[in-house]
Structure 1
Amino acid sequence: MAAPSISHSGSADSSSTFEDYSLYSHLSDSELLQLAIERSLIDTHGSAAATTAISTNSTTTQRPHRHDNKPTPSAATSNQPPAASTQNPAAAQLGAHYSSPNPPTVKPPDPKTFVGTVSRFMTGSGKRMVAYYKTDGSLVHIAPEPEEEEEPLFRAIREGDSSRVKALAMCPGTNLMLPSKPGWLAVHQAAWFGQEACLRMLLTVQPGMINKRASGGGTPLLTAVSRVHLGCVQLLLEMGADPDIPNYEKETPLYKACERNNPAIVAALLNSGAEVNTCCYHGWTALQEAASRDNLEICEMLLKAGAKHNVRNSYGITPLFTAAQNGQLAALRLLIKHGADVNTQAADGATALYEATKNGHTKIVELLLSQNADANKPGKTGLLPLHIAAQRGSDTIISMLIVVTSKARVRRTGISPLHLAAERNRDDTLEFLIKAGFDVNAQLSEERSRLYEDRRSTALYFSVINNNVDAVRMLVAAGADPNLDMFKPLLVAVRIGCIQTVQLLVEHGADINAGIPTHPTTFPAVYMFSMKYLPMFKYLLDHGGEALSCFSCIYGGQSHPPIKTSRPGGNYNPDQSLPETLQTRGVQFCEMISAPSISRWAGPIIDILLDYVGHVTLCSRLMEHLDSYSGWSVIKEKAALPRPLLQLCRMQILHLVGRRKLKRLPLPGGLIRFLQHQELSLDDS
């Protein structure tokens, strides 16, 4: 990690510098090394030297990945040529003033015999440095890195001085077949910089260089193609360069020309007999590369030259699939015209239509469907293109796919497009699919339901758990049943605390008194999630929530056993924390209200419940809660027998008439409100 930059001024003698090291004694080894390098660069006159953080120049270049996981060009064909070797002696090293009491040696060690580590750094001003360390980590020598001078021949080529190139090439003792450090010959240098005259001169003197490879495996022809030097390409082909020699990634000059999107070079290579169906390391052909770039001119040339449109790469992908995947309409039309299979599938089963849908290529989907592409072939997850379109919210693509997708095939996938639209909150798509006639009560298959911990099964559940009120409204208005899921959507809505969703579900028949199969209770399970929100708790009671079961207790006035909330090991097990009787009957209300997070609400909860029951007897546990706070004594009086006649009459009328028919009774409005328990409404909370 680079250390923070340090600046200093004035003369720098050894004593002051040593004090600086004391000041920076808290720095890490790398930071101290930076400081040593900076001090070593102070000139002999003691002028100020502003220094900056050090960065290493030996990092490995990371090549970017393309969408198809095919690697980019190799180092031999990158944007910078390898550094040429030099036969000149190293430049004299600069003198350095070291502030350390034990400065490194002045003479650098011999790299061939040195035992230790050699590190190269670069200062913020661009000065290259080299440091030698012993195996124990101690610094042996540090100095500016000697600069290598470019060989005269390579320099003349770079500058395009053909006469000097000729003189140097024909000089006695010059060996043009001798590579530089990275295997870079003079002919590669000429091809890299596009120096045709120099290239011709070199090949005239030494024709044997024409097909020599550089360190990455690239020939001079491949180098010229990579740099898009048409003149050099034509010259090399005229002088007999082999157009089919690949680099070490098996990329041929023709493939590279397609990658560079250059029709003129492609034509030159094809006219020289280049093989059109050679695959690179990842199985890509020149045609597939051209199709991915939608170069119609190159694709036509390759197909006329015999390129096969059904060759698959290592992922099972054909050129047509690649064109569809990348939204290349012109190339796709051309490939279809030449007989490419529109139903081609990749190794994972995905079709070109599936891939085009996933990437939202509307025109591609339209073209494939016009050519009778099969919309009923699923991808590796079992989803059809229609599912993917619903997931993306692509209504235009959905409208095209609906008419060609079998609803029976959709059912066999075990998931409806409605599920995916609801899961991703695609409200417009959800409305579109409902109008198209998709079943709002379609349920996930058992296999897909098991993928969710709560075992959800309906689109309504997805919308409720996403707290999407608009989607819930659309689904229930279209007839969605709120009672199909194992864990009822109403329980989720109450737990989230969304009163709008709760009202929508209750108005459309949600079972307020439903339980949870995996966690049985003797009272409506929805109360577990609403006890801290009394207005919602009252709303549920007003609309049919059962209250009498909350006062049912197998212990009655007897002492209740203590509630164990955890086992000795610390893992909670609800079955082992209850007596055997409760394990068969379910958790009782008096046990649930005794939970530490709810017990402080016990008085108001019991007070509300008493308004919805007649004669009841409070068990000893409920009495304990009411006795725990003096302000709750009035609630005990309210529960005392006999209950008021007015309350008993209300309960009897509700029992005989039913809540839904109360408004039809010829009674004053105040009395109707009393019968409906509307002394406190949600709006009053």
Structure 2
Amino acid sequence: TTIGANAHSQASDSSSILLEAARGGNPDSVTLLLKYGADANIPKISGHLPIHVAADRGHLLALKMLVPVTDLAAIKWSGINPVHCAAAGAHTQCLELLIQAGFDVNFMLDQRIHKHYDDQRKSALYFAVSNGDLSSVKLLLNAGVLPNQDPVNCLQIALRMGNYELISLLLRHGANVNYFCRVNPLHFPSALQYTLKDEVMLRMLLNYGYDTERCFDCPHGDKVRLYAFEGWTSTVIKDTMFCEVITLSWLRHLSGKVVTVMPDYVDQVRICSKLKSVLQNQGLWSEIHFILSKYPSCRKLVKNTNCMLDLFYRTLFWLKA
């Protein structure tokens, strides 16, 4: 710079010298370029600014220098917030710095950005949850990020991962347990399908208001009939019932355990003929039959037992979180 180099030079993709310095993370280089007039608000063709690159690479010192010289209007025009970049890179310190500096944790990726992701993700929280990054998820939720803004629910991602701590954290901050997935439409809220093999996750959902009644809202009734449904095909069956899913050949062995847990969370349990025919071959059928036949009188006893179990599970995972 002292012999006439241009601090405003750009590469063929419009990447500035300052952006490349931010990518390298050398704070002395960033300081020198800013001193000689480098503009932190010049994007490359992709729309990324130096602050995005520093956050994505986890260069905390460089990021500190770029925060006060980056215009919010330039960030808005770019369609991506540096909070997304820090969350995507799992750089907790950078994320904390940006939150403290007042960056919007609920900034949504612009359509021209999120269309490149198959899951159409929009929020910084989605990136953190996808990474299984509990520290970043905590920072974002405590900063007021909303947990239900993405086309694919963040809770769904945590359930797929089977991460108890993430699930518990999201539920405590208002994650929607009653979302419906756009793929393979079900008559009951989609979250349940990820918990069929895990009683702990099942109880976590039920405790946070899962609409259990939808599972037993079934048109099959008591009539015995032949059922052809045996999974999803290229022609997706619309509004698939709970009984049709839980009685699939690879899931029916779980039906007794799942149905045994559910009566305490619903006012009325109506076992249709299809589900009943499978449950009767389960070892837990006598217990299920007893609960249903004596439902009003034994409900209080079952509820007290389940409440003790629920308290144990919730205390366990809150302590971990």
**Given the two structures, how large is their TM-score scaled by the length of structure 1?**
0.44
Alignment of 1:562 onto 2:228: yes
Residue 345 of structure 1 corresponds to 10
Conserved? CA contact 1:590–1:621, under 8 Å: yes
Letter in 2 for 1:436: A
SS at match of 1:382: coil
Letter in 2 for 1:599: R
Indicate how the Cα distance of structure 1 residues 450 and 596 shifts in structure 2: closer, same or farther if over 3 A, else same.
farther
- Greater mean deviation of Cα atoms: 462-471 or 607-616: 607-616
C-alpha distance in structure 1 between counterparts of 2:244 and 2:149, whole Å: 28
Q: Give the drift of 1:684.
A: 8.8
Structure 1 residues 65-84: aligned runs within 5 Å: none
C-alpha distance in structure 1 between counterparts of 2:40 and 2:117, whole Å: 27
Residue 192 of structure 2 corresponds to 527
Indicate how the Cα distance of structure 1 residues 498 and 553 shifts in structure 2: closer, same or farther if over 3 A, else same.
same
Q: Give the drift of 1:531.
A: 1.1
Q: Give the drift of 1:630.
A: 4.3
Q: What's the CA shift string for 1:41-97, capped at 9, x where partnerless?
A: xxxxxxxxxxxxxxxxxxxxxxxxxxxxxxxxxxxxxxxxxxxxxxxxxxxxxxxxx
Residue 494 of structure 1 corresponds to 159
Residue 645 of structure 1 corresponds to 297
Q: 1:386 aligns with which of 51, 57, 64?
A: 51
Residue 611 of structure 1 corresponds to 264
Residue 674 of structure 1 corresponds to 304
Letter in 1 for 2:2: L
Indicate how the Cα distance of structure 1 residues 675 and 441 shifts in structure 2: closer, same or farther if over 3 A, else same.
farther
Alignment of 1:592 onto 2:222: no
Residue 472 of structure 1 corresponds to 137
Conserved? CA contact 2:184–2:236, under 8 Å: no
Q: What's the CA shift string for 1:384-407, capped at 9, x where partnerless?
A: 000000011111111111111111
Residue 540 of structure 1 corresponds to 205
Letter in 1 for 2:281: S
Conserved? CA contact 2:123–2:149, under 8 Å: yes
C-alpha distance in structure 1 between counterparts of 2:212 and 2:259, whole Å: 10
Residue 320 of structure 1 corresponds to none
Q: What's the CA shift string for 1:147-204, capped at 9, x where partnerless?
A: xxxxxxxxxxxxxxxxxxxxxxxxxxxxxxxxxxxxxxxxxxxxxxxxxxxxxxxxxx
Indicate how the Cα distance of structure 1 residues 493 and 590 shifts in structure 2: closer, same or farther if over 3 A, else same.
same
Conserved? CA contact 1:626–1:636, under 8 Å: no
Letter in 2 for 1:674: N
Indicate how the Cα distance of structure 1 residues 467 and 606 shifts in structure 2: closer, same or farther if over 3 A, else same.
same
Residue 418 of structure 1 corresponds to 83
Number of positions where the alignment pairs a residue of Structure 1 with one of Structure 2: 313
SS at match of 2:308: coil
SS at match of 1:402: helix
SS at match of 2:128: helix
Q: Give the drift of 1:594.
A: 2.3
C-alpha distance in structure 1 between counterparts of 2:72 and 2:104, whole Å: 10
Letter in 1 for 2:257: P
**Given the two structures, how large is their TM-score scaled by the length of structure 2?**
0.91
Letter in 2 for 1:563: F
Q: Give the drift of 1:532.
A: 0.7
C-alpha distance in structure 2 between counterparts of 1:378 and 1:599, whole Å: 55
C-alpha distance in structure 1 between counterparts of 2:127 and 2:306, whole Å: 33
Structure 1 residues 224-239: aligned runs within 5 Å: none
C-alpha distance in structure 2 between counterparts of 1:531 and 1:444, whole Å: 33
C-alpha distance in structure 1 between counterparts of 2:305 and 2:230, whole Å: 41
Q: Give the drift of 1:517.
A: 3.0
Q: 1:375 aligns with which of 40, 50, 56?
A: 40
Alignment of 1:441 onto 2:110: no
C-alpha distance in structure 2 between counterparts of 1:459 and 1:484, whole Å: 10
Q: Give the drift of 1:560.
A: 5.2
Alignment of 1:409 onto 2:107: no
Conserved? CA contact 2:221–2:273, under 8 Å: yes
Q: What's the CA shift string for 1:120-164, capped at 9, x where partnerless?
A: xxxxxxxxxxxxxxxxxxxxxxxxxxxxxxxxxxxxxxxxxxxxx
Identity of aligned residues (%): 33
Conserved? CA contact 2:230–2:249, under 8 Å: no
Conserved? CA contact 1:563–1:577, under 8 Å: no
Q: CA RMSD in A?
A: 2.2
Conserved? CA contact 1:440–1:478, under 8 Å: yes
Conserved? CA contact 1:494–1:502, under 8 Å: yes
Conserved? CA contact 2:230–2:248, under 8 Å: no
C-alpha distance in structure 1 between counterparts of 2:151 and 2:183, whole Å: 9
Indicate how the Cα distance of structure 1 residues 391 and 485 shifts in structure 2: closer, same or farther if over 3 A, else same.
same
Q: What's the CA shift string for 1:513-549, capped at 9, x where partnerless?
A: 1112344322121111111111110121112112111
Conserved? CA contact 2:120–2:151, under 8 Å: yes
Conserved? CA contact 1:541–1:547, under 8 Å: yes
Q: Give the drift of 1:644.
A: 2.1
Q: Give the drift of 1:634.
A: 2.4
Greater helix fraction, Structure 1 or Structure 2: 2
Conserved? CA contact 1:542–1:677, under 8 Å: no
Structure 1 residues 31-42: aligned runs within 5 Å: none
Letter in 1 for 2:32: L
SS at match of 2:107: coil
Alignment of 1:633 onto 2:286: yes
C-alpha distance in structure 1 between counterparts of 2:305 and 2:176, whole Å: 22
Indicate how the Cα distance of structure 1 residues 374 and 684 shifts in structure 2: closer, same or farther if over 3 A, else same.
closer
Conserved? CA contact 1:551–1:589, under 8 Å: yes
Structure 1 residues 125-140: aligned runs within 5 Å: none
Q: Give the drift of 1:631.
A: 4.1
C-alpha distance in structure 2 between counterparts of 1:562 and 1:540, whole Å: 30
Residue 172 of structure 2 corresponds to 507
Q: Give the drift of 1:577.
A: 4.5
Which segments of 5 or more consecutive residues in structure 1 lack a partner in the other structure?
Answer: 1-332, 567-571, 651-670
Residue 358 of structure 1 corresponds to 23
Structure 1 residues 267-286: aligned runs within 5 Å: none
Q: Give the drift of 1:676.
A: 7.1
Indicate how the Cα distance of structure 1 residues 594 and 448 shifts in structure 2: closer, same or farther if over 3 A, else same.
farther
Alignment of 1:482 onto 2:140: no
SS at match of 1:346: coil
Conserved? CA contact 1:614–1:643, under 8 Å: no
C-alpha distance in structure 2 between counterparts of 1:617 and 1:498, whole Å: 32
Letter in 2 for 1:612: Y
Query: Greater RCO between the two (CA within 8 Å, min separation 6)?
Result: 2
Alignment of 1:397 onto 2:67: no
Conserved? CA contact 1:530–1:536, under 8 Å: yes
Conserved? CA contact 1:345–1:351, under 8 Å: yes
